[in-house]
Amino acid sequence: MKIITLTPNASDATSYYRAWGVFPDIMKRSDITFTDYYEAQGVVNQARVADANGNLISIPTKGFTWAQALQYDAVFLQRAFGNAVDIAAFMKDCGLKLIYELDDNLFKIPDNFSIKQAFNKEVLGTIEYLIRISDLVIVSTQALADYIEEKFQVKCEVVNNGIDLNRYPIQPYNENGGLVWRGSRTHIEDLRTFRSELEAIEEHISFWSHDPVKDRPYLSIKSYDFVKPMDIMYYMHNIRQIKPRGIITPLEANLFNACKSNIAYLEATIAGAISYSNQWGEFKGKGLNLSQINERSKEVHDEATQDLHDNYSLTKLNDRRIELLKGVL
């Protein structure tokens, strides 16, 4: 099975968990191959244009023709930005199966969230269009699947985020580690919601950002630092090297957050930390009673360690992905 992909690559953390971070394992253990669309483009056409003197000349142009499209069985689409939607629709017209991957409930972004403006009525209409024409819709949480199925009457398949436990063996609980917040600009409003609770923690907090955050939280915390964005590989290395005992992920009570996935929980556990977060759906954690954040609990981390082995091993989850991908043919 040959799949061409329209998805962010090295700079996108979600691609690490939902696309290019999982594709290599699938290719090693099956006959499915993935090819990045933008790398597959080449000099494939000769365009006839007029030169400065009005004479028609032929020039090579980059593009992707139907002849190339027919070499593939399916197109995988994640984070439909730019011209990716038109390209996916073109490939669908060429007879390829369309696989659409969603990892956030973009239809329920709260009005006070800064990313709301990026997902206007037109953009959401495009996302709905993709959901409806797809042969397979894969989502990261059951809550997101339930929402889409009820709103659009389109069945979704749930594949949770997982972690390669061979690449990242789970570290023992860090009894004496520090506290880390990890997130992006989509979480800034959540931080402000829990301002008083965070300010009451009399301990150094290191804020790690996955993308450029222009509006730093500016909380009145006695001791904190703000770590600039870094490549996902550096992040995964560093979060294990500093050995935190807790990763804090406060989330407002809304449907957008209720559909979020378990990435903070995975990263905390492999780093030897406890995930302190709201316990909604697959976004697992000890709970968000920040007044008790100084409680050490090796037992909590032991339970999370077993949970990752039982339910969030990348190879086990990819077995399900392989079954779903082949099922569209």
Write the DSSP string, 286-305. S---GGGTT---HHHHHHHH
2-44+63-162+314-327 belongs to which homologous superfamily? Glycogen Phosphorylase B; (3.40.50.2000)
Task: Grade residue 43 by pLDDT with cuts at 50, 70 and 90.
Answer: very low
Task: Report pLDDT for 179.
Answer: 92
Distance CA 16, CA 60 (A): 34
185 within 8 A of 212, measured Cβ to Cβ: yes
pTM of the prediction?
A: 0.88
pLDDT single digits (tens) 140-169: 999 999 999 999 999 999 999 999 999 999
Write down the domain spans for the chain: 2-44+63-162+314-327, 179-311
Of the candidates 167, 148, 166, the one whose C-alpha atom is nearest the C-alpha of residue 157 is 148
Q: How confident is the model at residue 108 (pLDDT cuts 50, 70, 90)?
A: very high
pLDDT over 90 at 221, yes or no: no
Identify whether the C-beta of residue 25 lies closer than 8 Å to the C-beta of residue 5: no
Number of Cβ atoms within 10 Å of the Cβ of 99: 22
Segment 171-194 mean pLDDT:
85
Hey, do 2-44+63-162+314-327 and 179-311 end up sharing a CATH topology, with the first three levels equal?
Answer: yes
Phi, psi of 307 (to 5 degrees): -60, -45
Domain 179-311 sits in CATH at 3.40.50
Q: Residue 171 in contact with residue 267, Cβ under 8 Å?
A: no
- Concatenating the DSSP letter of every residue in 102-143 gives E-S-GGG--TTSGGGGGS-HHHHHHHHHHHHH-SEEEES-HH
